[in-house]
Chains A and B, each alone.
Chain A
Amino acid sequence: MCKHVALKLFCSNTPCQITVLASDGTVLQQTTVTTCCSQVCFCTNGCTVQILAQYQNQTLARTLCLSCCRCQVFCVNFNFTPLANVTITLTDQNYGLPVANATLNFQS
């Protein structure tokens, strides 16, 4: 039986892309949240759904367990780690000229 589900979504950073997946990977709903809180609805025969929230290069996931017979409303919060845009310069130590090509690895 198709269960109707409403999600009230909160994303700490926007725009935040939301994808709702059934247990077999079928995309049940996909939307972009630009303000908080937003609501999306979908219908599924399954008992669990996975909600993916993506902001820039961060992805958070939640799994919801659905009960069988009644319409359900869920409040789901996604709190992303704050990111800072950093500019990196790389120059020759002896001459000061810009290094043509390089890759720097930053490990926390």
Chain B
Amino acid sequence: MVTSETQVGAAVLKVDGDLTAAAAPRVRAQMREAMASGTKALVVDLSGTEIVDSAGIGLLIAAHNSLSRAGGSLEVVGLSKDLADLFRSMRLDRHFTLQTR
């Protein structure tokens, strides 16, 4: 997991590997750390991720909900075509910005 600060209040989290039920606790902790340090605009980079299961999707939704309540935003970038299609089928594009690779 790599986090980089792009500007005050913004951060990029690059997820290593698949975002599945096994990885969710670790990624959740990283997201909470970013938000606790003042991040309002969070970019989650999935360019190294092949699979996101329902637990991973739930984690992204939860992050979106938390950020929205704080007046912030979530963007997910680096999506493969398969993941982008999955996310659109799950209606995630109604909640946060998606970008493909």
Partners in one complex: no
